[in-house]
Chains A and B, each alone.
Chain A
Amino acid sequence: MRKINSIFKDLIFVCFASSLVVSCTTIKSISSDASQDPIYATAKDLKSEARLDEIARNRAQLSEGKSYEMGKQSANNNGRYDYMPATSYAERFNRTGNGFFLTGNCNTGCGNSNMNNFNHNNFQGQRFSNPHFGMSFGNGFNPMFGNNINCNPWQSGYNDPWMQYQMMQNINSPFFTYNPYMFSFSLLNGYYDPWMMQYSSFNPYFYNPYFYNPNQFGNNNNPFFSTFNNVATTNPRERIIEQNTYNLGSTINYGNNKGNTTFERGNTNSSNTGTRGGFDANNRAQRSSGNNGGGGHQGSTKR
Chain B
Amino acid sequence: MYKKSWCFAVLFSILNLVSAQGNTEAFRYFNQGIGGSTKSLGSANAFGAVGGDVISASINPGGMGMIRKSQLNFGLNIHSNTAQAQYITNAMQGDGNTGIGLGHAGLIVSILKRDDKNRLITEGLNNLTFYFNYNRHSDYRTGITFEGNNTKSSFTDYLAEQANGQLYTNMNINSLGYLGFQSYLIEPKLLQGYDDSFASLITSFNTNVRQKVIINRSGSAGDYNLGAAGNFNNKFYFGMGLIIKSGKMKESFTFEERDFADTIYSGMTYNQYLETAASGAGLNLGGILKLTESFRIGLSYASAVRLAVTDRYTRSIVANFDRPVGNPPRRVITATTPDYNFDNIQDTLVYKYKFGTPSRTNISLAYIIKKSGFISFDAEYFKPTGSKFFPVSDNYIFSDENNALRTELKAVWNLRFGGEFVLGKYRLRAGYAYYPSYQKSLAPAELNNFNRQFYTLGFGYNEKNYTFSAAMVINRMNEVFIPYQLRMSNNFHQSRIKNSGFNLQFGATLNIN
- A interface residues, Cβ below 8 angstroms from B: 27, 30-43, 46-47, 49-50, 53-54, 57
Contacts and interface: CB of A to CB of B under 8 A. Distances in A.
B371 A35 contact: yes
B119 A31 contact: no
Contacts of A33: 422, 424-425, 462
Nearest to B65: A38
Contacts of A50: 119-122
A42 B69 CA distance: 15
Contacts of B462: 33-34, 36-37
Contacts of B141: none
A42 B293 CA distance: 6
B234 A30 contact: no
Contact of B53 (A39, A43, A54): A39
Contacts of B235: 43
Given A36-B464, A39-B374, 6 more contacts: A30-B424, A34-B462, A36-B462, A39-B50, A40-B374, A50-B121
A46 B234 contact: yes
29 contacts: A30-B423, A30-B425, A31-B371, A31-B372, A33-B424, A33-B425, A34-B371, A34-B372, A36-B464, A37-B52, A38-B53, A38-B66, A38-B67, A38-B69, A39-B51, A39-B52, A39-B66, A40-B422, A41-B52, A42-B234, A43-B122, A43-B234, A46-B120, A46-B234, A47-B122, A49-B120, A50-B120, A50-B121, A53-B119
B368 interface: yes
Interface of B: 50-53, 66-69, 118-122, 126, 234-235, 293, 368, 370-372, 374, 420, 422-425, 462, 464
Contacts of A42: 234, 293
Name the residue in A27, A32, A39, A50 with the highest tally of chain B Cβ atoms < 10 Å from its Cβ: A39
Given A36-B464, A39-B52, A53 B120 contact: yes
Considering residues A27, A40, A50, A57, which has the most beta carbons from chain B within 10 angstroms of its beta carbon?
A40
Contacts of A35: 371
Nearest to B71: A38
Contacts of B464: 36
Nearest to A53: B120
B371 A46 contact: no
Nearest to A37: B462
Contacts of A27: 424
A35 B235 CA distance: 16
A13 B119 CA distance: 50
A115 to B, nearest CB: 34
